[in-house]
Structure 1
Amino acid sequence: MTSTGSGSSALRALAGPGLGERLVFLESGDDPRVRDYVGLSDAALRQQGDPANGRYIAEGAKVISRALAAGHSPRSFFMASKRLAGLFDVLVAHPGVPVFVGEDAVLEAVTGFHLHRGALAAMDRPAPVVLEDVLRDAKRIAVLEDMVDHTNLGAIFRSAAALGIDAVLLSPRCADPLYRRSVRVSMGAVFQVPWVRLDSWPEDLHALDAAGFQTVAMELTDQAQDIDEVAALEIPKLALVLGTEGAGVSDAVLEKVARHAMIPMTPGMDSLNVAAAAALAFWELRRRNP
């Protein structure tokens, strides 16, 4: 249902030519045109095999802007009325894309959660990146094994973007980087760092060997070297393997990688959260001689 009241007319007039005719003012969540936004709470999305079905959700003005800057195509925008002015330039730059606007209670009824950042965009998923293309010019790669926590995944992408990681490779059972929470936590870094979901694990590690990468697993083992020792080697092409929280890197992978590395810690502590460990490792193993 759309609103035709005087308040909606005033907001449409304020939006001006080129945008006003695209505004859809929601009075309830029953409008079939907002189906991309129905049931977006974390609990609901976990029940869906593919939460995007060819689309993903960008949340917040900064994340939406980064998705668009990366060349991703918007299907529609969905926001509180009070956010319209702040995103005006973005909306005008994408003619023909509908803009659904409503009050907080209506938007929450549609999505199943409160829009703290006030704006969402349904985006078409980009075409998958080809592994060979990613490896061609890369010097530092993160390889994530069975990373199922979306918060950790998003945090790792944010660190990867900030600390010089050229690409992220995901084992088949890793979480979706374009899941709403991952996108939000990464602050849009999932659009900046190329990523590839591998088909065969851990056999696909051979592709890294063939491309000249030395594989280093972050895991506390009898063979593990202090990370500063590994950094001192100044490995030209390095692929850093990180396992999921708790379980760590699997034995099957540890048998295939060239080295094991660990972060020295104070007595009584033997591990960090994987996202924190990743950030430290990215910095310590950064490429020092570009």
Structure 2
Amino acid sequence: MSEPRTVTDPADPRLADYTGLTDVELRRKREPAEGLFIAEGEKVIRRAVAAGYRMRSMLLTPKWLEVMGEVIEATDAPVHVVDPALAEAVTGYHVHRGALASMERKPLPAVAEVLAGARRVAVLEGLVDHTNLGAIFRSAAALGMDAVLLSPDCADPLYRRAVKVSMGAVFAVPYARLDPWPGSLATVQQAGFSVLALTPAEGAVDLATVAVQEKTALMLGAEGDGLTAKAMAAADHLVRIPMAHGIDSLNVGAAAAVAFYAARA
């Protein structure tokens, strides 16, 4: 068990992992390079620990010491106790959940590893919005997707906002990067998956009319731009979710949830 220690200086080097959490560009580069990510909130921290991620440290406001008691007892990582004003000064925002943990990343698995034994996978192209990415991981976990595959330019699933929105689902669903893109889609097809590209483009057929195969990969693109022409050309089928009242498409997070439910085993 680590003994909680009060920290009163926002420039204390022990708090370095938590500085400037609102600086997205800095964190995108720094966290993967340093092999860390930030888990926010009691449930997310517990789920990260349960998923086998090693804790580097915790930053707690005093009222969360009792709530996080079991986690503190089980770790030898340092526990830094700060008042809410200092937490805000360090992180750059109001830490209303009062509990943050710096966690060590795991090596990213190979595509073949996450596909082994899988029957339903999500393939994401160009998803750079962390909120949408987190929502898709949450739906993937809830609706029985076995894995998520990401194009090289997709956002980091372990970025704080994505983890928070997913409620820790990023720890429950295996994921890997498909590189080169979209050439590596052939790897998915060679593993026996039928790739269905979600798009409102002309020629796409109603998802409900497509016979879902034993192994199915549902591919979605970024908000607004959607899938690229090259990605759609590499797919086995172009499918769409029928719209009403003149609406042309759903938010990608909503579309993913609908598609995952429609393709459930």
**Cα RMSD after superposing both structures:** 1.0
Match of 1:196 among 150, 163, 176: 176
Matches within 5 A, 1:254-265: 254-265=232-243
Q: Distance in 1 between matches of 2:187 and 2:137?
A: 22
Q: How many residues align?
A: 263
Shift of 1:49: 4.4
Give the structure 1 partner of residue 163 of structure 2: 183
Shift of 1:48: 4.3
Q: Distance in 1 between matches of 2:114 and 2:13?
A: 39
8 A Cα contact 1:51 1:179, kept in partner: no
Q: Structure 1 residue 115 and structure 2 residue 95: aligned?
A: yes
Match of 2:143 among 163, 166, 170: 163
Q: Structure 1 residue 244 and structure 2 residue 225: aligned?
A: no
User: What SS does the aligned partner of 2:60 have?
Assistant: strand
Q: Deviations over 1:176-234 (max 9, x none)?
A: 0000000000000000000001220000000011101000000012221111112xx13
Give the structure 2 partner of residue 209 of structure 1: 189
Match of 1:282 among 238, 260, 263: 260
Give the structure 1 partner of residue 198 of structure 2: 218
Match of 1:229 among 209, 213, 225: 209
- Report the residue type matching 2:201 in the other structure: T
- TM-score normalized by structure 2? 0.97
8 A Cα contact 1:58 1:123, kept in partner: yes
User: What SS does the aligned partner of 2:141 have?
Assistant: helix
Give the structure 1 partner of residue 114 of structure 2: 134
8 A Cα contact 2:28 2:156, kept in partner: no
Larger-Rg structure: 1
Q: Structure 1 residue 39 and structure 2 residue 28: aligned?
A: no
Q: Distance in 2 between matches of 1:225 and 1:115?
A: 46
Shift of 1:46: 2.1
Alpha carbons of structure 1 residues 85 and 49: separation in structure 2 relative to 1, 3 Å: closer
Give the structure 1 partner of residue 53 of structure 2: 72
User: Which structure 1 segments of 5+ residues have no match?
Assistant: 1-17
User: What SS does the aligned partner of 1:158 have?
Assistant: helix
Q: Distance in 2 between matches of 1:50 and 1:214?
A: 34
Matches within 5 A, 1:17-96: 18-19=1-2, 22-41=3-22, 44-52=23-31, 53-94=34-75, 96=76
Q: Deviations over 1:85-136 (max 9, x none)?
A: 0000011011x21000011001111111111111000000011112111111
Shift of 1:277: 0.4
- Report the residue type matching 1:138 in the other structure: A
Alpha carbons of structure 1 residues 87 and 73: separation in structure 2 relative to 1, 3 Å: same
User: What SS does the aligned partner of 2:176 have?
Assistant: strand
User: What SS does the aligned partner of 1:50 have?
Assistant: helix
- Report the residue type matching 1:59 in the other structure: E
- TM-score normalized by structure 1? 0.89
Q: Runs of at least 4 residues of structure 1 off by over 3 A?
A: none
Alpha carbons of structure 1 residues 115 and 49: separation in structure 2 relative to 1, 3 Å: closer
Shift of 1:45: 2.6
- Report the residue type matching 1:62 in the other structure: K
User: Which structure 2 segments of 5+ residues have no match?
Assistant: none
Q: Which sits farther off after the overlay, 206-215 or 125-134? A: 125-134
User: What SS does the aligned partner of 1:153 have?
Assistant: helix
Q: What percentage of aligned pairs have identical amino acids?
A: 50
User: What SS does the aligned partner of 1:85 have?
Assistant: coil
Q: Deviations over 1:244-278 (max 9, x none)?
A: 00000110011110101111111311100000000
Give the structure 2 partner of residue 268 of structure 1: 246
- Report the residue type matching 1:273 in the other structure: N
Alpha carbons of structure 1 residues 166 and 180: separation in structure 2 relative to 1, 3 Å: same
8 A Cα contact 2:178 2:185, kept in partner: no
